[in-house]
Amino acid sequence: MRKKILLNSTVLLFLASALVSCDKTRIFDEYKTFNDGWHKDSIVTFAFEEEITKKPANMFINIRNNDDYEFSNLFLIVKLEQPKGNIKVDTLEYQMANPDGTLLGEGFSDIKESKLWYKENVLFPEKGKYKVSIQQAVRQTGKVKGVEKLKGVTEIGLRIESLEEK
């Protein structure tokens, strides 16, 4: 019995490492976790160093949410700050659920992961530290004040992928 458990653990470890090593387009991939929803004043920041490159990349915002997420859409304010201080701000809207209320995204349990397009064919023209800040801006229909705490969002991530394999 112990040999079977050890063999199963070894096989799972091998498969997990194989899946991670096959990710040849990843430049940056990081998540931040929320313990009890995403407060409207909580700004999530990701920082990464980038060399000057002529090769374009795609940027994604990854959201993990569960059945406690009660909205069909997600509104985000995303700020990209370049090393020399140039700032680009976008207000983004993503569909998070079907009309019947079932969550969109990948996953076998009640937790779904959605890979949302942020920027396509992006170039990083300056060498140095870049920062991406993300804030939720969800509002209930007909109300001006934003949702104080966005329940159901468990993690938010930023992923940057090269258009070419490494």
pLDDT of residue 146: 73
pLDDT of residue 24: 83
Cα-Cα-Cα-Cα dihedral sign, residues 136, 139, 140, 145: positive
**Does residue 8 form part of some domain?**
no
- Low-confidence stretches of the chain (pLDDT < 70) are 1-22, 52, 142-144, 165-166
Count up the domains in the chain and report the number. Answer: 1
pLDDT of residue 12: 45
**Does residue 6 form part of some domain?**
no
* CA angle (120 as vertex; 114, 121 as ends), nearest 5: 145
Name the pTM for this structure.
0.81
pLDDT of residue 52: 64
CA atoms of 155 and 42, how far apart (whole Å): 13
**Does residue 15 form part of some domain?**
no
pLDDT of residue 106: 92
Which CATH number fits the domain that encloses residue 113?
A: 2.60.120
**Does residue 67 form part of some domain?**
yes
Domain that residue 117 falls in = 26-162
**Does residue 47 form part of some domain?**
yes
pLDDT of residue 2: 46
